[in-house]
Chain A
Amino acid sequence: MLKVEHLYKEYNENVKVLFDVNFTFEDGKTYAIIGSSGGGKSTFIRCLNMLEVPTSGTIELDGVKVNDPKTNLEDIRAKMGMVFQNFNLFEHMNALDNVTFALRKVKKMSKEDADMKGKELLEQVGLGHRFDAYPHQMSGGEKQRCAIARALAMDPEVLLFDEPTSALDPEMTSEVLKVLQSLSHQGLTMIVVTHEMNFAKEVADEVIYMDKGNIVEHSPAKEFFEHPKTKRAQEFLANMI
């Protein structure tokens, strides 16, 4: 369970990005975070694994406070995978090494074991023929699928997706979304910041609508799209069509 309480993030007096965000992510569910740009979605998800340090508030993963200087952040991060908008694959490593890097360095796995696991994961995301490809040789969709395999390699409890398809064209978007769909409801908690409303509608259990640094509304996906409760969410959805 990932619990967020009174989360604030401000860069200075004038730039308040998150304003008292409270939410509890339940294990195994898929969440879609939607909302207009600048609403704090990305900052929120980046606070969850401390890529952004919150100004105040608490984040707890299974009862362990994430944003506590005494917590071993590396252990926490190993349990929370992240997939980025721009893939962020290690340019100097091929697909397999990208996936196995953390297995070898963090989990101290032998190269043979790591390679075996890495190959399995790459096959799972449809890259069974691309083990040796370097990032610059891959298409955007392939890069993102490789990045997903890399995040999965650590057997995370929570997987964070920060606009995973925003840098992709429609065809590649659908191949990445298919992978996301296949991962959901496999016991993994998925938190996906996205602009893909169909994905939110069809795959997510719950939709979180953020605006101006706060969660305005959250409800089961179907309910959210059919009967948005707040005026802001209604307007947002009306603009999407």
Chain B
Amino acid sequence: MNFDVSIIEKYGPLILSGLPMVLFISAVSAVFGFLIGLLAVFLRGRNKVLKTIVNGYIDLIRGTPVYVQLIFFYLGLPGLFPGFNPPEVLSCIIVFSINSGAYLSEILRAGVEGIDRGQIEAAKALGVSKSDIARHIIFPLALRNVLPAVMNEFITLTKETSIVSVIGVADMMYRYNNVSASTYSTFEPLLVIFIAYYILNVILSQIGRFIERKLSYA
């Protein structure tokens, strides 16, 4: 066995310096992804044309790997439009937002469909406007229905961002490439990344459970 703890001591901090990038891309994409997901649910209910467009978007995103989507956006589109040269981090945020938006819209739609219609009828019967019903009745109830699935999507998103080094964004995997190239070690730096992701997602799921408890009242 070949385990050199000094590599972790020496290069661990360098690898972990990629963690803020992971958090940044994940968090920003989660926020925009959520907004895109909400918008998609809203547009889907408007009319048939919008429904077809939104369904096409969801199918396209779900039918292709996010790895391919990222390279397609960053390298493929500039091949078609030579003037289009999106910055790396921005490309990641755009691709991951659009990607998680598709998954989140499906989750949120299920949440809306799972709402007890009686509460919507009660609000209607009180003369509450459609937009107030959407904001104060449908949205909170739908979110509460599917909160575990939403948190799960955020965790998946965080894990999927580990591909961003493919376009040169300096996350932890990018640091690993640097470290292993100069030290020829693979196990030790990867172990650091392994543990870092694991702890990150344990924290995320704990936050999710905490919010669930807050919202369940039971």
Contacts and interface: CB of A to CB of B under 8 A. Distances in A.
Given A105-B132, A136-B218, A80 B141 contact: no
Interface in A69-113: 74-82, 84, 86-92, 101-102, 105-106
B118 A74 contact: no
B123 interface: yes
Interface size class of A (residues with CB under 8 A): 20 to 34
B122 A82 contact: yes
Interface in B105-131: 116, 118-119, 121-129
Contact of A78 (B122, B126, B136, B141): B126
B141 A81 contact: no
Interface in A147-194: 147, 150-151, 154, 160
B137 interface: yes
A148 B217 CA distance: 23
A148 to B, nearest CB: 12
Given A90-B137, A136-B218, A84 B128 contact: no
Contacts of B141: 91-92
A102 B118 contact: no
Interface residues of B, number: 21
Given A105-B136, A134-B217, A136-B217, A88 B128 contact: no
B137 to A, nearest CB: 6
A238 interface: no
Contacts of B121: 51, 84, 88
B78 interface: no
B140 A88 contact: no
B175 interface: no
A214 interface: no
A49 interface: yes
A79 B124 CA distance: 12
Interface in B132-170: 132, 136-137, 140-141, 144
B122 A84 contact: yes
Contact of A106 (B128, B217, B218): B128
B136 A81 contact: no
Nearest to A106: B127
Nearest to B218: A136
Nearest to B127: A78
Contacts of B137: 90
Given A90-B123, A92-B140, A134-B217, A84 B118 contact: yes
Contact of A77 (B118, B127, B136, B217): B127
Contact of B129 (A51, A74, A147): A74
Contacts of B144: 92
Contacts of B125: 49, 51, 77, 80-82, 151, 160
Nearest to B135: A105
Interface of A: 49, 51, 74-82, 84, 86-92, 101-102, 105-106, 134, 136-137, 147, 150-151, 154, 160
Task: Give me the 3 closest cross-chain CB pairs, A-B, nearest first.
Answer: A78-B127, A88-B118, A88-B122
